[in-house]
Amino acid sequence: MLNVALPKGRLGERVYAMFEAAGYPCPSIKENNRKLIFENPECGVRYFWVKPSDVSIYVERGAADIGVAGKDILLEYTPDVYELLDMKTGICRMAVAAPKGFRDDTRRALRVATKFSKIAGDYYASRSREIDIIHLNGSIEIAPILGLSDVIVDIVETGTTLKENDLEVIETIVPISARLIANKASYKFKNEQIKALTAHLAGQLQAED
């Protein structure tokens, strides 16, 4: 049995549909209840829904053999896992955004509000720009409006959230998409199964192209 951690929510539903199309269905997953674990012994898979930012924890520690996590999470938490496949979904970008007309005053540290402290820290370190990180857990967009920060580092998908809060992208840091990841020991001991599943998913992605 392959244990598969899927990110709960819209992305997870899209990802499950990809696993289903690749030959790993689990019909009971569509029953509308609050169960979090579903298995289909015939296909040798057991799915479980976890918080998107927790997928890599389950996979790194071997509670899941494989999982699907955003590249943002992989860059932020650098889990010790294998990255097997770009799932070409959940596509967005990590960006710096600021209120319209923002000018950087390089005489002082730039105040950066973000959920992604490591990504932001690495980015500004690479540019030798001194920053003051303000770590928040959500609603990042309001930080510059209320004067808590100068800029934000956050995920931008459609750009609607920024627009509706009078912010704009000033720099793109890195493109983001969902990735298939594997536990390192599982990759060794369940190699055939994991390779087959990866190949089926890759084939499915190509067919959709």
Interface residue list for ligand PRP (CB under 6 A): 138, 140, 154-161
CB 116 within 8 A of CB 76: yes
Minimum distance from CB of 181 to ligand PRP (Å)?
19
Please identify, using beta-carbon distances, which residue of 84 and 143 lies nearer to ligand PRP: 143
Minimum distance from CB of 208 to ligand PRP (Å)?
22
DSSP string, 65-107: SEEEEEHHHHHHH--S-EEEEE-S-S-EEEEEEEETT----TT
Q: Residue 147 is encoded by which pair of tokens?
A: 């004067």
CA distance 61 to 71: 18
Please identify, using beta-carbon distances, which residue of 144 and 187 lies nearer to ligand PRP: 144
Minimum distance from CB of 26 to ligand PRP (Å)?
25
Q: What single letter denotes the amino acid at residue 62? A: G
Minimum distance from CB of 76 to ligand PRP (Å)?
12
Minimum distance from CB of 59 to ligand PRP (Å)?
20
Kindly provide the residue ranges of all beta strands, DSSP E only, lying in the chain, ordered along the sequence: 2-7, 37-40, 45-50, 66-70, 82-86, 92-99, 110-114, 131-135, 151-156, 167-176, 178-182
CA distance 191 to 183: 11
